[in-house]
Amino acid sequence: MIPLRNPAAIRLGRLADSGRTGRLHLSGESGGVIHLSEGDVVYADSRRTPDLATRLAQAAVFTGRDLVGSLERSWLLREAIVDATLELLSAKARHLRFRPSGDEPGFSDMDGMPVAALITEVSRRREVMHQLSALLIPDTAVARDPGARSRAIHVSDIQWAILIRAGNPVTPRGLALQLGQSVFSTTIEVFRMVTLDLLKVVDVPTRPADQEGGFNRNRPVVSFIRALADERGNSQLRR
């Protein structure tokens, strides 16, 4: 969950309450900018997540068509905001600076996200990330599993895209930036692929080839419902 004393979250909440328009700059290697318009977040940019332009460009490559003005642009914008905010509120910003402005151009046609709802979603994702952390985080190196037993398996388009890029060690974050996908969803997908023995965490010994592979019962499983329960439990502990 987002700690109640997270300075960036507190500052964001205050800016939302006062209906401010402008940019909240968060410094540091994991820094970025959160854009507000009348107290709602209209965009967020992090150095460690794909920006909206990258997401739109990659999506256009996949589909061969322009997404501007479509529902998909709206969804991609939402995901870009939440993905970046998760990164920004998870890191320790050394310095916060708010620069007011008259408007935030480029996003005037999109509805802003209420800060409270954004932080709730970010908190939920942090609980999911906590589940994944038993096995990997966005910066854990993974690669195709050379010890995986030969078997027929159906992979999705995104899993295929990940597999062909994982011949050499790569991180979920690196894959997300290459694919223009959410760092959060890519990390979850990589987690599942490790569970399916399609990928392996680079520094963890591979199981011998003569051992049966497939779904490993000893590995953790990611659950969105469990993330909600954990978030509620942690909220009660904080009171």
Residues that bind other proteins (CB under 8 A): 59, 62-63, 65, 70-72, 74-75, 78-79, 82, 111, 113-114, 116-118, 120-121, 124-125, 128, 151-159, 161, 179, 181-182, 184-185, 188-189, 192, 195-196, 214-215, 222-225, 227-228
CA atoms of 185 and 176, how far apart (whole Å): 9
| Nearest to other proteins of 7, 13 (CB atom) | 13
CB of residue 122 to other proteins, shortest distance in Å: 10
State in angstroms the smallest separation of the CB of 97 from other proteins: 27
* Residue closer to other proteins (CB basis): 25 or 226: 226
Beta bridge partners of 99: 23
Q: What are phi and psi of 188, to 5 degrees?
A: -65, -45
CB of 166 to other proteins, least distance (A): 16
Measured from the CB atom, is 53 or 155 closer to other proteins? 155
CB of 125 or CB of 144, closer to other proteins: 125
CB 106 within 8 A of CB 44: no
